[in-house]
Structure 1
Amino acid sequence: MKDFKDRAAVITGAASGFGKAFAEMGAALGMKLVLADIQAEALDATVSDLRARGASVIGLRTDVSSSEQMQVLADAALSQYGAVHLLFNNAGVLSGGLVWESTEKDWDWVLGVNVRSVIHGVRIFTPLMLAAAAADPDYEGHIVNTASMAGLVNAPNSGAYNVSKHAIVSLSETLYQDLALVSGQVHCSVLCPFYVPTGISTSARNRPDDLANAAGPTHSQTVALAQNAKATGAAKVTSQEIAKMTFDAIRERNFYIYSHPHLMASVRDRFEAIVAQRNPPDPYAGSPVLRAQLVEALRH
């Protein structure tokens, strides 16, 4: 897809972080926007700001873990713009801690937002895109699923998040293969960023009350969130840079999108260990000080 002007994009998690950056770049390119987020006030502010810039945009408060609400989002997009050309399955939340300390509610929350939302997006929007392609030989569609470097390696003390992001990489790779069987007009990518200051460290602010843990976070979960907040706070790559990388990938039909390519050595080490049937390598092998700090924090 080379030309974005007047094409419609649906973006989840659009009121902050990557989603807001995608929306701002889409608006600058002349796209029509359908924005979804769980934070009504922040979503309204984003919609108002983009309209003030001259963009055609609607916003719907959406719990992306809900199949019914994702269907409402799709219906609104079709009603407003007639077709969807870009879908950013971007909404996500963060949870850490020792994997056995994640409660059932922790798993339900993380998998609901990080995995089921993408499943809903692929299941609902892909047929709409394929139908548009069948009706118009000039139609182009593209789906971008936001995963993480945590979908390619398995850092300790991040079990639920790792599982969710590995699922998105697998889903996206399968979607890529399946689309290639049936259409040359609809494509997809998977975004695998590392630490970027997006506000995900405070995603628990939007956690539903019925999925909250009465006992509060465990020590390891508190350590994980503090580690993430420190790392994202010191990160140099911005959401705007991620948006540019992503739109460039869409133009070139590139599937894998990495924000920190120099970190791929850890991915290579993991896959080489898999092929050689070696035990999993230490993801912190290149940063022994960080590992030592994590061990110290967890044991005290």
Structure 2
Amino acid sequence: MRIERGLVAVITGAAGGIGHGLAQEAGARGLRLVLSDVDGQRLAALVDNLQGQGVEVAGLAADVGDPAQLDALRDLAVQRFGGVDLLFNNAGVMQTGFSWEIDAARWQSLLAINLGGVINGIRSFMPLLLGQQRPAQVINTASLAGLVCSPMLGPYTVSKQAVVALSETLHYELAALQSQVSAAVLCPGPVASEIMASNQASNQASNQAAGEATGQLDALLDSSIRQGMDPRALACEVFAGIEAGRFWLLPHKNFKPALERRLNSILEETNPVFEMADA
């Protein structure tokens, strides 16, 4: 699918990290944008910034875990621009800790956003995309955690592996329909963002203090993520992958030996052994 001026892109989780990079790059390429984020203040600042650059953009503060709010985002795109060409189901949060120590509320909250947000985006937008009778694409943001597993990232890993499975299923369904709509899944490693702040906020909301092991992991992850790939550079790779027609969007390549070890362990029926993968 060619990325051309005037196409309409919807991006969730647009106010920071990957979503912010996608919005900036899409705007620079002349796309018209419909952006959402749960943080209305940061979203408004982004919309103002893009409008100052001459980008046609609309914003809607929305919780992707609520199907009605995704319906409202779709309706805004239709009302403002007449349709949608690219849907980036991107919003996501982080949760760390031992799987059994993370309470039910925090499990459900993360799954509602990381997985439910993708499900709701697909359910809200797919009838529109199919009915337009023209090329369009759905790009779901997963993670390297969608392909390999790590300790103390249970909810995040579960959600991201489910996003990969859902994306692949969607790919097969669209192929069976011989549809002009296609699907892709983005599985990045560390990308510069403040996603770990969502982990801290979740813990504070549940009055849950991080244990020593979790605290050390949080510090390591936060440092790695903040020093990660520039979101704008990642966006350039994403758009290149879309134009190349790739389903697997894998901007970080060094994880592949870890994935190969995991696949070999499955095929050979050996017990998995965790080894830190380079980003």
Bucket of the pairwise TM-score, normalised by the shorter protein? over 0.9
1:147 alignment partner in structure 2: 142
Give the drift of 1:40: 1.0
8 Å CA contact 2:98, 2:154 repeated in 1? yes
Counterpart pick for 1:159 among 154, 161, 167: 154
The one-letter code sitting in structure 2 at the alignment partner of 1:268 is E
2:264 alignment partner in structure 1: 272
Cα 1:187/1:220, change in 2 over 3 Å: same
Cα 1:205/1:278, change in 2 over 3 Å: closer
Superposition CA RMSD, Å: 1.8
8 Å CA contact 1:10, 1:33 repeated in 2? yes
Unaligned 5+ segments in structure 1 are 134-138, 288-300
Q: Is 1:253 equivalent to 2:252 in the alignment?
A: no
The one-letter code sitting in structure 2 at the alignment partner of 1:123 is R
The one-letter code sitting in structure 2 at the alignment partner of 1:181 is A
Question: Matched residues in 2 for 1:10 and 1:98: separation?
Answer: 35
1:32 alignment partner in structure 2: 32
TM-score, with structure 1 as normaliser: 0.88
1:120 alignment partner in structure 2: 120
The one-letter code sitting in structure 2 at the alignment partner of 1:26 is A
Give the drift of 1:224: 2.9
Segments of 4+ moved more than 6 angstroms: none
TM-score, with structure 2 as normaliser: 0.95
Give the drift of 1:102: 1.2
Cα 1:105/1:222, change in 2 over 3 Å: farther
Give the drift of 1:286: 7.5
Cα 1:199/1:114, change in 2 over 3 Å: same
Helix, strand or coil: the match of 1:60?
strand
Question: Matched residues in 1 for 2:277 and 2:244: separation?
Answer: 34
Q: Is 1:225 equivalent to 2:218 in the alignment?
A: yes
Helix, strand or coil: the match of 1:95?
coil
Deviation track 1:205-239 (CA, whole Å, cap 9, x = no partner) reads 76599xx313444444433321211212333x211
Greater helix content: 1
Helix, strand or coil: the match of 1:22?
helix
Give the drift of 1:241: 1.3
Deviation track 1:5-24 (CA, whole Å, cap 9, x = no partner) reads 11111000001111111111
Provide the identity percentage: 35
Deviation track 1:50-91 (CA, whole Å, cap 9, x = no partner) reads 001111000000011111111111111111111110000000
1:244 alignment partner in structure 2: 236
Aligned length: 279
2:164 alignment partner in structure 1: 169
What pairs with 1:62-81 in structure 2 (closer than 5 Å)?
A: 62-81=62-81
The one-letter code sitting in structure 2 at the alignment partner of 1:282 is F
8 Å CA contact 2:3, 2:239 repeated in 1? no
When Rg is computed on C-alpha atoms for both structures, the one with the higher figure is: 1
8 Å CA contact 1:13, 1:92 repeated in 2? yes
Question: Matched residues in 1 for 2:76 and 2:201: separation?
Answer: 23
Unaligned 5+ segments in structure 2 are none
2:184 alignment partner in structure 1: 189
2:174 alignment partner in structure 1: 179
Question: Matched residues in 2 for 1:79 and 1:271: separation?
Answer: 46
